[in-house]
Amino acid sequence: MPRAEPVWRDGHRVLLLENGEAFYARAFAAIEQARREVLLETFILFEDAVGLALHERLVAAARRGVRVEVTVDGYGSPRFSDAFLRTLAESGVHFHVYDPRPTLFGIRLHIFRRMHRKLLVVDGARAFVGGINYSIEHLTVSGREALQDYAVELEGPVVADIHDFARTALQSPHAGERWRAPVAAPLLPRAGDARVRFEVRDNGLHRDSIEREYRHAIRGARERIVLANAYFFPGYRFLRELLRAARRGVRVTLILQGLPDEPIAQPAARTLYHTLVEAGVEVYEYGQRPLHAKVAVIDDDWATVGSSNLDPLSLSLNLEANVFIRDRAFARELSARLEALMRGHCTRMERDRLPIPTPLQRLLRPLVYHAIRRFPKWAGWLPAHTPRLVRLGAPR
């Protein structure tokens, strides 16, 4: 099956939103102002202060006649109270769970091919894309456990693409995998000067769409590459492009986790540090809170914000969504935010700070790297499982 080709759109307003404080204020206000439709996808929706605030706004929107469609992931959002679901259903909210599955002794085992996207489209005219879920852990009141992350608010023609995709994805678990952005320009009016492209990653037409755009931009980099990513363990081709960029004189900077929220994240990334630093890549670890970012800036006119990490799960198995932005003002703003992060809360992993690998480690590291990067392919040899999209409740 031929892969879907990219479509760039001109004429956008793009607003950078850092952490839950900025994101929830804008997203909740958009839902409160909705007149016709709210489409929301998220990996995590917890029944905490943030989840209940979202719940209140979704219920209110549905009660005033707005069509509300919500999809959460069955792994990321495993449990809801009967009262939480009943109120949604009684108000008319259409609530879907992507691939809900039973636990084994309380352990969730379905970690592959999760619906990891974070999308919100309101009235087909305003969209939000990024890495921020709906839980209190994205607010700084959570203290040292609060996640550092980003999203964007968009207005302009690309919102029609995001809206079309989100509507298509509601049809079945695999409908989005066959989606293609229309070649004709959407009818939405221009809202600014930014050029934007919406990309998804799935196991159908878009298997490597997000990674391909990253690699293409890295190959064309002239001066600067800054990647801030929570889970950094890319495949060989991605890593090769980064190393080549550094060796031809591009300043390549990685901002990675110093306080990991997942035990394997930091050790996996650190197996690459010697190779990266020896090639001239600047590696920083963010140590104030867990880094949950999935953003990048290249030169002064290319940026991306989305849900995709740079690890085997996001690049080869999960369902992801990113926007790619060509706009000098936006790239400068995101770059300035990341520079502030590095100056204030990051430790540079200098060559003399890295532990000298033993002969056994030098032997094992390439084997471990290739084993982990090939893991998604090996996982595909397991007995096939067909995900389900289950609608909970019975909205009237």
Tell me which residues are annotated as active site. Answer: 116, 118, 123, 292, 294, 299
DSSP string, 294-343: EEEEETTTEEEEES--BSHHHHHTSBEEEEEEE-HHHHHHHHHHHHHHHH
Q: Which two tokens stand for residue 77?
A: 């959002």
Whether 200 contacts 321, CB under 8 Å: yes
Whether 14 contacts 154, CB under 8 Å: yes
Across the chain, which distance is largest between two alpha carbons, in Å? Answer: 67
Whether 320 contacts 307, CB under 8 Å: yes
How far is residue 82 from each of residues 2, 54, 56, 79, 86, measured CA to CA in Å? 44, 17, 15, 10, 6
Whether 39 contacts 124, CB under 8 Å: no
Whether 245 contacts 279, CB under 8 Å: no
In three-state secondary structure terms, 194 is strand
- Which of 138, 136, 137 shows the shortest CA–CA distance to 17? 138
